[in-house]
Amino acid sequence: MSFLTRPRLFGLALAMVLFAVDQWVKKIIDVDLDMQLGENIELLPFFDLTRVHNFGVSMGMFEATSPEMRWGLVALTALIAGVVTVWMMREKNFADILGLSMILGGALGNIVDRFRLGYVLDYADFHVGDFRPFLIFNIADAAITIGVVIILARALFVRDKDEDEATTEPADGRGEPDNA
């Protein structure tokens, strides 16, 4: 079987689609709507577009306060994206490939922002009145989060059939339990 199987090609394609959609929506926020930092556009009673700049990683942690830290975050996230790519290209399970492709697509979108702008552009603001259960995020963040949930759910709750068969097969290979 070739290295680029159909599920892996699907994973790469999904990662590129997520990356492209993320960058397209960020262009709309930045250029087409010309939203300024902190500007808010109410779309629905529970969803606004609010432009914020995230200089950190997840939830603003590890904020890059200098050019060296910025480029360090670019390098670190690029390394992580490389590891995810290698993992995805070695993976055989479609659900894992799906989760990894979502992580990869989102990571690429945020890496390009940090490289090009020095920060990640966030805009999606879900709320119930004044209560905001999430920080303001973007499509890349959502894809990464969903991908991680898929990977964690599979790791915690799903046992692969091959593993089950390997643990129930007797050590002597005869197909019968060893009662010695």
Alpha carbons 106 and 144: distance in angstroms, whole number: 5
Q: Which two tokens stand for residue 163?
A: 């593993």
162 belongs to the catalytic site? no
Residues whose CB is less than 8 angstroms from the CB of residue 173 and which lie 6 or more positions away in sequence, other chains included: none
Q: Which two tokens stand for residue 41?
A: 């556009």
Q: Which two tokens stand for residue 111?
A: 């890496």
Q: Which of 22, 96, 113, 122 is catalytic?
A: 122
Alpha carbons 92 and 80: distance in angstroms, whole number: 20
Find out whether 106 and 143 touch, Cβ atoms under 8 Å: yes
* Residue numbers in the chain where pLDDT is lower than 50: 1, 180
Neighbouring CB atoms inside 10 A of 27's CB total 12
109, 112, 40, 136: CA torsion to nearest 10: 50
Amino acid occupying residue 164: D
Instruction: Give the model's pLDDT for residue 158.
Output: 79
How is 80-120 classified by DSSP, letter by letter?
A: HHHHHHHHHHH---HHHHHHHHHHHHHHHHHHHHHHHHSSE
Instruction: Give the model's pLDDT for residue 1.
Output: 47
Alpha carbons 106 and 119: distance in angstroms, whole number: 15
Instruction: Give the model's pLDDT for residue 64.
Output: 78
Find out whether 52 and 37 touch, Cβ atoms under 8 Å: yes
Q: What is the pTM of this model?
A: 0.82
22 belongs to the catalytic site? no
8, 10, 12, 15: CA torsion to nearest 10: -140
Q: Which of 96, 113, 125, 141 is catalytic?
A: 141
Instruction: Give the model's pLDDT for residue 132.
Output: 84
